[in-house]
Amino acid sequence: MEIALIGIGKIAADQHVPAIAASDDWQLAATVSRAGSVEGVDAYTDFDALLAERPEIRVISLCLPPVPRFDYATRALKAGRHVMLEKPPGATLSECHALEALARAKGVSLYATWHSREADKVAAAKEWLSGKTLKSFRVTWKEDVRRWHPGQDWIFEPGGLGVFDPGINALSIVTRILPDAIHLSGATLHVPENRQAPIAADLNFYHPGGADVSAVFDFRQEGEQTWAIEAVTEDGTMQLAHGGAQMFVDGVAHGATETGLHGEYPRLYANMAALVRAGGIDMDLSPMRHVADAFLLGRRETVAPFEF
């Protein structure tokens, strides 16, 4: 199937383009970007021109920042195209609900992707936790914003999510592997005095079984990056490391260990191919709901200004 990639920035170049190139399901037929392009692929700067001139491209993958994504997704869906959304699927929950309603009205597929759910050991962690009594659950997600989002000021603007841009990856894993639904009970958001979105956050959650569930997100990590989850149960301790690429049970590695985003984006594109063939929609918004609750309930603390 032919697909167009919209927004040729770092994540598109690092993950989307290689995943499409390696897939038997897809052919990258065109791109839309103000500055970026992919060698050998038709490049557009105007999205409406692409939609008008290339009706044979039935699938659109959006890699834009969250705020402009709704406008592009709406135009694509109204044109009868299937749409794949980078995370988060929109700037607000209402936008996402509107997109799903439009996709259903148009009879096309819509996919809110959560790449961290496709990390190598997430499925195994879900299986291991099933049926166990949880005592505590701790998420530690700390990375260097300068390394992963160099000069991207939009991430600290309204709708950019700040530290929840990576933090929502952790929440996508949490909402996939925990047997019981949780919800936010308290939060502290650390907001630089010259920015609109938090650079760090401390979260606490209500668990129906009384387990102690918490998360720490920080965009100021230097040196080694930390993407870890620890679940302590009555039957042992399970740890996920490297964003779900590695799993340990009572300190013993579970299966082969991977690093980085190994296999995540290829699996997303395989999922999208299956949705298009089946005429399906996958718009699970549970990770985004926790972020919205944090902005609603969180106590804000002003911290030192931040510059790239």
- Residue 257, pLDDT above cutoff 90: no
Which residues of the chain are in CATH 3.40.50.720 domains?
2-112
Window from 126-135, 154-163, 253-262, 279-288 with minimum mean pLDDT: 253-262
**pLDDT at 263 (0 to 100):** 87
**pLDDT at 261 (0 to 100):** 61
Q: Tens of pLDDT along 27-74? A: 999 999 998 999 999 999 999 999 999 999 999 999 999 999 999 999
- Residue 17, pLDDT above cutoff 90: yes
- Top-confidence residue, 185 or 10: 185
- Catalytic (active site) residue 87: yes
**pLDDT at 176 (0 to 100):** 98
Residues 17, 31: Cα–Cα separation, whole Å: 10
Domain made up of 119-258+292-303: CATH architecture: 2-Layer Sandwich (3.30)
Q: Tens of pLDDT along 198-223? A: 999 999 999 999 999 999 999 999 99
* 87, 106, 132, 135: the active-site residue: 87
Q: Which residue in 176, 188, 196 sits closest to 91, CA to CA? A: 196
Which residues of the chain are in CATH 3.30.360.10 domains?
119-258+292-303
- Residue 163, pLDDT above cutoff 90: yes
pTM of the entire structure? 0.95
Q: Which CATH number fits domain 2-112: 3.40.50.2300, 3.30.420.40, 3.40.50.720, 3.40.50.10210?
A: 3.40.50.720
**pLDDT at 256 (0 to 100):** 76
Mean pLDDT, rounded, for 127-146:
98
Average pLDDT of the chain to the nearest whole number:
96
Query: Would you call the peptide bond into 88 cis, given omega within 30 degrees of 0 as the criterion?
Result: yes
Mean pLDDT, rounded, for 146-168:
96
Question: In the chain, what percentage of residues exceed pLDDT 90?
Answer: 95
